[in-house]
Amino acid sequence: MRIGILSFAHLHAEGYLANLRRIPGVEIIGFSDADTERSKRIAQKYGVRWFWTHEDLIAAGPDAVIVTSENARHRELVQLAAGARVHVLCEKPIATTTEDALAMKTAVEEAGVKFMTAFPMRFSPAVQAAREMVRSGALGQVLAVVGVNHSENPKHHRSWFVDKELAGGGATMDHTVHLADLYRWMFGVEVGEVTAAISNPFDAEVEVDTAGLLLLKLENGVPASIDASWSRPSNYPRWGHLKMEIVGQKGSLLLDAFAGHLHVWRGAGGRGYEWAGFHPDPNQGMIESFVSSLRAGRQPPVSWNDGFEAMRVALAAYRSAAEGAPVSPADL
């Protein structure tokens, strides 16, 4: 199977490249990116072919592509790939507007290609075990869910994350979708309502939000929160966390998806301290699932609709914060 990577704008592209290389029978045809400096560095560091334009990469005839551009450019790249009958794994959030997301759906359906939304946390063994426990009923009636997906400010790695046009927003756009998707997936219901406080307390240099607190009401009546803030300092021992506490009448479950780590101190100067994870990489499971779905001719397990519904939760959060009232994602 021949796979290409459309754009290295998103941080995750480097990880996906490593994930692809671990899968037997996958040929990485290269990546396309208009940023010359970045591309030369990537091509040299990883020994992959660089295509100056996305059209050139598509012309090289991949079976599938991974779209890891800036959020607002997903639409044009998905349309380009679908138009050439190439399957797509698309980074989250899948778009920044419902209009773009719907256009992507049309392109994919008309071309008859497969589309997967990149929600790697579904492939975390810890998350899967938590979902099993919820669905087994062992916790009894679920009373509340408290979710945290906070991180450092990603602008230090890629500046477009704080460009409202390209990213569609800040921390709330960046992080809401992971937990929103997990809640939908674990409980098998949509998010009925979102109330949110969104703010920029951490970075006076940027226009976008750096903090977001969301209280959701799932359609089964369970209240669930999301902390989407870029509230970890850049010298935090790791990029951040994905945590979830599910409070049930019979018992509670505490999920810390990246809990397994070594405490590592290194380097000179200061107290250089790091958490080095040793659990399976959820991205690996996600990429393998994408490849095996294509090989089997199956729909990948995370759909366009999953990406769309999670994106609408983030959009509802922005509207709620602006209006000071609860907003239903279905109204967006």
Partner 1 sequence: MGRVHAGVYRNLGVELVGAYDPDQERLGAFAAEFSLAALDSYEELIEGVDVVDICAPTYVHEQLAVQAFAAGKDVILEKPIALTPESARRIIDAEQRSGRRLFVAMVVRFFPQYRSAADLARGDKLGGLGVVRLKRVLFPPGPGWYRDPEKSGGMPVDLMIHDLDYARWLLGEPVRVFARRSPRLEDGAHEHVQAVLEFASGAIAHVEGGWAYPPGYFRTSLDIAGDRGLVEWSSDAPQPVETLFPKDAPAPAVGLPLAGLEENPYETELRHALLALELGGPFDVTPADALAALELALAVRESADTGRVVEVA
Cis peptide bond N-terminal to 93, omega within 30: yes
Q: Does residue 249 touch partner 1 according to CB under 8 A?
A: yes
- Angle, CA 174 vertex, CA 254 and CA 283 arms, to 5°: 65
Which two three-digit tokens encode residue 142? 């679920």
Among 225, 283, 284, 289, binds partner 1 (CB under 8 A): 225
Specify whether the CB–CB gap between 130 and 244 falls below 8 A. yes
Binder of partner 1 out of 125, 137, 188, 221 (CB under 8 A): 221
Nearer to partner 1 by C-beta: 95 or 246? 246
Q: How far is the CB of 329 from partner 1 (least distance, A)?
A: 16
The count of C-alpha atoms lying within 13 angstroms of the C-alpha of 55, restricted to the half-sphere facing its C-beta, is 0
Smallest separation (angstroms) from partner 1 to the CB of 59: 47
Q: Does 133 bind partner 1 (CB under 8 A)?
A: no
Six token digits for residue 324: 């000071």
What are the Cα distances from residue 284, in Å, to 63, 269, 288, 315? 19, 34, 6, 29
Residue for token pair 């970045």: 38
15 binds partner 1 per the rule CB under 8 A:
no
Query: Does residue 215 interact with partner 1 by CB under 8 A?
Result: yes
Cα 145 to Cα 60: distance, rounded to the nearest angstrom: 47
How many chain residues are in contact with partner 1, going by CB under 8 A? 41
Is 329 strand, coil or helix?
Answer: helix
- In the bound state with partner 1, the residue whose beta carbon lies nearer, of 192 and 301, is 192
In three-state secondary structure terms, 159 is helix
Nearer to partner 1, 140 or 267 (CB): 140
Work out which of 197, 238, 261, 305 binds partner 1, going by CB under 8 A.
197
- Could you say whether residue 252 binds partner 1 (CB under 8 A)? yes
For partner 1, the closer CB: 79 or 231: 231
Kindly state whether residue 148 participates in binding partner 1, applying the rule CB under 8 A.
yes
Chain centroid to CA 316: how far? 17
Of 164, 178, 80, 43, nearest to 123 by C-alpha is: 178
Length of the chain: 332
146 lies in the binding site for partner 1 (CB under 8 A): yes
Q: Are 132 and 103 within 8 A, CB to CB?
A: no
Looking at this protein, which amino acid is placed at residue 127?
V
One residue of 15, 260, 301, 326 binding partner 1 per CB under 8 A: 326
Can you tell me the distance from the alpha carbon of 118 to that of 103, in angstroms, rounded to the nearest whole number? 18
Residue 202 lies near partner 1 (rule: CB under 8 A): yes
Within 264-323, the residues that bind partner 1 by CB under 8 A are none
Tell me if 192 sits within 8 A of 184, measured CB to CB.
Answer: no
Question: What does residue 80 show for φ and ψ, rounded to 5 degrees?
Answer: -60, -45
229 contributes a contact to partner 1 by CB under 8 A: yes
Binds partner 1 (CB under 8 A): choice among 251, 267, 272, 277: 251
Q: State the minimum distance, in angstroms, from the CB of residue 202 to partner 1.
A: 5
**Least distance (Å) between residue 210 CB and partner 1:** 7
The correct pick among 53, 141, 159, 299 for binding partner 1 (CB under 8 A) is 141
Among 34, 59, 138, 143, binds partner 1 (CB under 8 A): 143
Residues making contact with partner 1 (CB under 8 A): 141, 143-144, 146, 148, 150, 193, 195-197, 199-204, 210-211, 213, 215-217, 221-223, 225, 227, 229, 231-233, 236, 247, 249-252, 254, 324-326
